Amino acid sequence: MRNLLIAGGRVIDPASGRDEIANVRVVDGKIAAIEPAGQQPSGAGQGAGEFPCLDATGLIVSPGFIDLHVSLREPGYEEDESTATGTLAALAGGFTTIAAQTDTSPVIDNRSAAEFVRLQADRARHCRVFPLGAITKQHKGEELAEIGQLVQGGAVGFSDARHPVANSEVMRRALEYTRMFHRPVLHFAMVPELADGGVMHEGFQSTRLGLRGIPAAAQDIMTGRDIALAELTGGRVHVMCVTTRDSVSRIRQARANGIAVTCDVAPHHLLLTDDVMSSFDTMYKVNPPLRTRDHVDALIGGLKDGTITAISSDHQPRALEKKQVELDVAPFGISGLETTLAVCVTALIEPGHLTWLELLARLTVGPAAVLGLSQGTLSVGQPADITLINPGSRWTVDAGRFQSAGRNTPFHGLTLTGQVVSTLVDGEVRWSRP
């Protein structure tokens, strides 16, 4: 169904600032027109033919969401996730485009590995998948990966996933080389020595619970270094999963000074604080860790003023048996694709921190700009990658019904607001809620 009329929905397109009740006309899988609600399709354009109607009354019609870094785990960790299950989970979460992380085995540090990601995504035929390439070979932080070859393999950015590039000279060279190819470096800003062995935020709660903490300074110091290197080299740094008050402040100042630095935030860091760690539930164990309320407030402030331009699910699926162990040895991570929208609505829209236009900008044009993608807009002529949202739907998270193979979520049993109804890629309905 590549010719379609999506009728009567609230069309929100952050790229153009559009927010109105309208019809979206799709011809041959592309956006053909956005017309006043109630107007019949004009039939302009070759092959327009008849227009099957998709009633969007009461729904938000948004550009398909874009995620900057998603762990698909294939190859090497298929017990956690596969390309097929991960991309289906992306559709269920409203994401039509994702960037695949490099934390596979073997690492995506060469052209053939990047091409494998694209091949598996083509076979799955769910959402669009662009590979990221490793910054360093085997994530060891010692020798740069084949940057040019990875670009030829389709890499839209470079990341060592959860392995910080601690060597500043290596990071400098990475920024210089990636600048030549107009690609960003997506970095996990964390000083390894300060974070080693930590399981939660270092503060009152970690002291009370007797758990080793990860101080906010571990992110702040590395963020400051990355900003300095971006200024030195002219390269582009993107800080993944910013969580601290001082990091937000430093990034805000750097952007004001014209330095090419961007950042994203994960939904769970906006809704949860380190108080939940008193349950010793491994589902809350994430890296960077859940912080205190003052840090959460700073993150929300960064979203409001445009310092934080993107929201990423930070999808880190884990087989349940890996999480059902002691807190100290359990792996970090949350399976986040299918709860991203609802957590953001609950944390940001309901309290009045952001408007729908502002939230959807952080899920569409914001991440698209980081990776230099043309997706994330409802502009005429663009592929019809569209997400339909029921903004007022109240639903209870049931991890057992996830499309993802990773059921590791702290939100199981929690009632949230906002739900994806359907997801279209190239004008085709690739997923609809049962």
Residues belonging to the active site? 314
Quick one: which of 170, 169, 160, 214 has its CA closest to 192? Answer: 214
Which residues, at least 6 apart from 237, have a Cβ–Cβ distance to it below 8 Å?
175, 184, 185, 187, 226, 227, 229, 230, 260, 261, 262
Q: β-pairing, 185-187 with 200-201?
A: unpaired
Which residues, at least 6 apart from 170, have a Cβ–Cβ distance to it below 8 Å?
135, 136, 141, 142, 143, 144
Quick one: which of 348, 338, 353 has its CA closest to 395? Answer: 338
Q: How far apart are CA 251 and CA 257, in angstroms?
A: 10
Q: How far is CA 307 from CA 130, 183, 272, 288, in A?
A: 25, 20, 21, 19
Encode 343-362: b = buried (16+ Cβ within 10 Å), e = exposed.
bbbbbbbeeebbebebbbbb
Q: How far apart are CA 301 and CA 295, in angstroms?
A: 10
Amino acid at 125: R
Quick one: which of 271, 298, 301, 299 has its CA closest to 286? Answer: 271
Quick one: which of 19, 47, 17, 14 has its CA closest to 32? Answer: 47
Which residues, at least 6 apart from 122, have a Cβ–Cβ distance to it below 8 Å?
none
Distance of CA 60 to the CA centre of its chain: 20
Q: Are 260 and 234 in contact (CB under 8 A)?
A: yes
Q: How far apart are CA 318 and CA 407, in angstroms?
A: 7
| Tokens representing residue 424 in the block | 């279209």
Amino acid at 277: M
